[in-house]
């Protein structure tokens, strides 16, 4: 599988309309499909030569109008790939509230209209060629680059799935998941503890709503019984969070990466290491030896010079995630409209 990470300049992009990445158990991981050519870099080079540049143009324009949409597009790929695999199932609407996107685990999901906008342009250029699932993957890649993260090649050739079920998203991890649940759900998708840390580090950019902090700040189950604040939060940081998120405040937003929410960097991992993780599922990464070691390996001052190299490894993790449960070949379909089956 060809994969290349190209360094891109820093960016200042606040805003991730998300509390935590949400992930779901998927049984089949088709990484072998990448090696076999079912997914390949430049899949549309002959059938639709302008496919990748069109998606990049749409994402760039959207990000210029609203910078918060860029981290949201990254979140959108998480939600697509961790439910039924990377098949565009999260884009389906309708069905009387029975579609996957209607599950509360997808709360606050944004960017679907950006994918649809890119699809409209591509249908005009190359009717019935570029799948919605590939547009999601390309848009996430471009969003990373436009926030100052690494540029990298994305293998394409996904087909769109033909199933979107509300209940399939029930198993998505959320901010309440402990490290055991997170590791288990990643492992079920063929991803390991290193992938868990790297993909969680996407929180280096973006914000979360106070809705997702309420339980951690005011309704956390305490070891001796009763409920209160998560005792693992340092007192000063707890006061800071409570000053931003009062009881019952669901809508105020604050950066997921304290002090560096607009820059793609490893600050999020240093914050996790030092007890300044904003949401519980991020903090959980420092509650297990395997993930602690990964967090520490990237948060040292010398890692940028001697490795491990966060930007390259993050790009590789994105490619691995983008290969979960892909539909290829003659399976599935290429939708004419991303929000409904053909």
Q: List residues with catalytic annotation.
A: 79
Closest CA to 159 of 337, 336, 38, 331: 331
Residues 44, 234: contact at Cβ < 8 Å?
Answer: no
Q: What is the DSSP letter of 220?
A: E
83 among annotated binding-site residues: yes
Is position 87 annotated in a ligand binding site? yes
Residue 173 counted as an annotated binding residue:
yes
Instruction: Give the whole-angstrom CA distance, residue 99 versus residue 151.
Output: 33
Sign (positive/negative) of CA torsion 118, 123, 125, 129?
positive
Q: Cβ distance 256 to 15 under 8 Å?
A: no
Q: Is 203 annotated as a binding residue?
A: yes
Question: CA Rg, the chain, in Å?
Answer: 19
Number of helices (H) and strands (E), helices first, in the chain? 14, 6
d(CA 87, CA 78): 12
Residue 100 is labelled as binding a ligand: yes
d(CA 145, CA 337): 26
- The token duo for 68 is 């918060």
Instruction: Report the SS3 class of residue 5.
Output: strand
The span from the CA of 272 to the CA of 49, in Å, is 42
144 token code pair: 């990373």
Q: Which of 125, 131, 126, 174 is nearest to 19 (CA)?
A: 174
* 66 marked among binding-site residues: no
Report the DSSP beta bridge partners of residue 228.
220
Residue 126 near residue 135 (C-beta atoms within 8 A):
no
Annotated ligand binding at 106? The verdict is no
Is 80 annotated in a binding site? The answer is: yes
Alpha carbon distance 176, 252 (integer Å): 19
Enter the tokens of residue 64: 């210029």
Residues of each annotated binding site for Ca(2+): 80, 83, 85, 87, 89, 100, 204, 257, 265
Residues of each annotated binding site for heme b: 203
Residues of each annotated binding site: 80, 83, 85, 87, 89, 100, 173, 203-204, 257, 265
Residues of each annotated binding site for substrate: 173
């Amino acid at each position: 599988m060809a994969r290349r990470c190209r360094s891109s300049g820093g960016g200042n992009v606040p805003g991730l309309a998300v509390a935590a990445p949400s992930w779901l158990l998927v049984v089949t991981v088709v990484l072998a499909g990448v090696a076999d050519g079912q997914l390949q870099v430049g899949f549309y080079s002959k059938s639709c030569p302008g496919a990748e540049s069109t998606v990049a143009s749409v994402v760039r324009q959207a990000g210029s109008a609203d910078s918060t949409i860029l981290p949201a597009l990254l979140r959108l790929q998480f939600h697509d790939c961790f439910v039924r695999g990377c098949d565009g199932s999260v884009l389906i609407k309708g069905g009387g509230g029975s579609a996957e996107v209607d599950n509360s685990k997808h709360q606050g999901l944004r960017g679907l209209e950006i994918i649809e906008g890119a699809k409209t342009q591509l249908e005009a250029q190359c009717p019935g060629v570029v799948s919605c699932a590939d547009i999601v993957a390309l848009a996430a890649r471009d969003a990373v680059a436009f926030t100052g993260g690494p540029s990298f090649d994305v293998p394409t050739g996904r087909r769109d799935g033909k199933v979107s079920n509300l209940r399939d998203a029930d198993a998505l991890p959320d901010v309440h998941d402990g490290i055991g649940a997170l590791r288990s759900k990643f492992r079920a998708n063929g991803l390991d503890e290193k992938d868990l840390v790297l993909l969680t580090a996407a929180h280096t950019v973006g914000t979360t709503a106070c809705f997702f902090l309420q339980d951690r700040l005011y309704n956390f189950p305490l070891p001796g019984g009763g409920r209160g604040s998560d005792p693992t939060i340092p007192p000063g940081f707890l006061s800071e969070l409570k000053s931003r998120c009062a009881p019952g405040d669901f809508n105020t937003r604050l950066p997921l990466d304290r002090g560096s929410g607009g820059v793609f960097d490893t600050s999020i991992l240093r914050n996790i290491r030092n007890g300044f993780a904003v949401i519980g599922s991020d903090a959980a990464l420092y509650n297990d030896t395997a993930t602690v070691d990964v967090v520490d390996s990237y948060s040292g001052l010398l890692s940028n010079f001697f490795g491990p190299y966060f930007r390259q490894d993050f790009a590789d993790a994105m490619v691995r995630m983008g290969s979960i449960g892909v539909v290829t070949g003659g399976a599935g379909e290429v939708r004419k409209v991303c929000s409904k089956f053909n």
